[in-house]
Amino acid sequence: MNIANDPDAQTQVLKALADATRVGILAALVERGDTCVCELVELLGTSDSSLSFHLTKLKGAGLVRARRVGKWMFYRPDRETAAKAREWLAALLDTSRTPDGPAEGSMAAICCGADVPVSRKEVTLRRKEGHLVAERM
């Protein structure tokens, strides 16, 4: 799964992590490595069916892997997806890249630089060289 450039995959990862039980499962797997479903049920104090539902979400997002040994099912974090998710989230949340003031050609630049508040009717938005630009008419 290439979450670096796939908004759908990124959304799937975020949805998988947007639940306290799934975060608990992932935390347990990161700490323990290969873990049997029976151990996860005991650790998290949840039912088999609830755990199965949450593990399906985590597997669907690529965050965990399963392997069967006889009648036993073991889960572990998917290191590759976790590393890509960590890199993507770190870049997404890197506020050191955020400008101190409004971006050039933005509504904020037009409105904040005006002596008089600007009406939306006085501004047009258009794409220019792949960027959205606000221009006063």
Question: Domain holding 31: CATH number?
Answer: 1.10.10.10
- The boundaries of the domain holding residue 64 are 7-95
Tell me, what's the pLDDT at 116?
A: 65
The answer to whether residues 14 and 67 belong to one domain is yes
> Rounded to the nearest 5°, which phi and psi values hold at 125?
-110, 135
Residue 58 covered by a domain: yes
Compute the distance between CA of residue 52 and CA of residue 50 in angstroms, rounded to an integer.
5
Residue 2 covered by a domain: no
Residue 117 covered by a domain: yes
| Contacts of 132 by beta carbon, 8 Å cutoff, 6+ apart | 125, 126
Residue 1 covered by a domain: no
Q: How confident is the model at residue 104 (pLDDT cuts 50, 70, 90)?
A: confident
The answer to whether residues 83 and 111 belong to one domain is no
Average pLDDT over every residue of 81-86: 93
Token representation of residue 31: 């700490």
pLDDT, one tens digit per residue, over 16-47 is 999 999 999 999 999 999 999 999 999 999 99
Tally of domains within the chain? 2
The answer to whether residues 33 and 80 belong to one domain is yes
The answer to whether residues 33 and 55 belong to one domain is yes
Nearest CA to 123 among 73, 108, 131, 115? 108
> Rounded to the nearest 5°, which phi and psi values hold at 104?
-60, 135
The answer to whether residues 57 and 116 belong to one domain is no
Q: Check whether 4 has a pLDDT greater than 80.
A: no
